């Protein structure tokens, strides 16, 4: 079975799957469906505050959203960012990509992932591998467990695989410049100790 056939099968299964209570819509990567717990209120509050800050700086057709799948059928990858900066036009149907139901990742300007207390490796490893392969120019990891952020940018290649060559760590309280936008991380909240 080819990668394309495996992905189509997984995508069909994912579309029919009703996540159990307490689980978010699944993602697909590495030939697997990835199930995640539903985000906590603290997670969602941070996503809201990031989106609100970005909204005030975006111009033209660009929007910051907390919805939508980012999908690259040719790579067999479907991710669901916590915050996505993309042209609003990317949500319009594209007849040339009839197999894809998600947003073309090449349209994304920035993805933000807020680390889950229960599965941090998904953001630090899986998505750090997937987003440069999908052509996303800026990837920000926000980690409320430790009160840190890491900005990744500038896609290059290592051992024939796309990787981010630029990496900058920050602490909550810092102002982060991402492309033409700035995020004030003093607005972000750490997880309470019992959830971290």
pLDDT tens, position by position, 65-79: 998 899 999 999 999
Find the length of the chain. 196
- Across residues 26-52, what is the average pLDDT? 93
CA-wise closest residue to 81 among 18, 24, 163, 149:
24
Strand 110-114 to 138-143 pairing? parallel
pLDDT at 100: 59
pLDDT tens, position by position, 141-158: 999 999 999 999 999 999
What is the pLDDT of the chain when averaged over all its residues? 91
CA distance 62 to 83: 13
Say how many Å lie between the first and final Cα of the chain, rounded.
Answer: 40
CA distance 66 to 134: 19
Q: Does the pLDDT at position 193 exceed 90?
A: no
pLDDT at 93: 62
CA distance 173 to 163: 27
pLDDT at 57: 97
Q: Does the pLDDT at position 95 exceed 50?
A: no
pLDDT at 106: 95
Q: Does the pLDDT at position 97 exceed 70?
A: no
Contact 46, 148 (CB under 8 A): no
CA distance 75 to 93: 20
CA distance 24 to 161: 29
**pTM of the entire structure?**
0.91
pLDDT tens, position by position, 153-182: 999 999 999 999 999 999 999 999 999 999
Report helix, strand or coil for 113. Answer: strand
Q: Does the pLDDT at position 96 exceed 60?
A: no
- Alpha-helix runs per DSSP H in the chain: 3-16, 41-55, 121, 127-133
pLDDT at 39: 85
- Set out the domains of the chain in order of their start, with CATH numbers: 39-187 (3.90.1570.10)
Sequence-distant (6+) residues with CB within 8 A of 129 are 161
| Phi, psi (rounded to 5 degrees) for 77 | -130, 135
pLDDT tens, position by position, 131-144: 999 999 999 999 99
């Amino acid at each position: 079975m080819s990668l394309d056939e495996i992905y189509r099968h997984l995508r069909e299964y994912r579309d029919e799957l009703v996540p159990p209570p307490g689980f978010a819509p699944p993602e697909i990567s590495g030939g697997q469906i990835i199930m995640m717990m539903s985000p906590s209120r603290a997670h969602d509050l941070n996503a809201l505050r990031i989106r609100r800050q970005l909204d005030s700086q975006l111009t033209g057709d660009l929007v910051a959203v907390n919805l939508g799948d980012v999908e690259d059928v040719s790579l067999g990858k479907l991710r669901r960012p916590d915050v996505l900066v993309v042209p609003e036009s990317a949500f319009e149907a594209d007849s040339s990509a009839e197999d894809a139901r998600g947003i073309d990742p090449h349209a994304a300007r920035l993805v933000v992932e807020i680390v889950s207390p229960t599965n941090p490796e998904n953001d630090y490893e899986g998505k750090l591998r997937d987003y440069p392969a999908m052509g996303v120019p800026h990837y920000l990891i926000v980690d409320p467990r430790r009160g840190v952020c890491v900005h990744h940018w500038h896609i290059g290649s290592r051992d024939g695989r796309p990787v981010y060559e630029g990496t900058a760590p920050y602490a909550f309280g810092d102002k982060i410049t991402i492309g033409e936008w700035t995020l004030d991380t003093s607005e972000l909240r750490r997880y309470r100790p019992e959830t971290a």
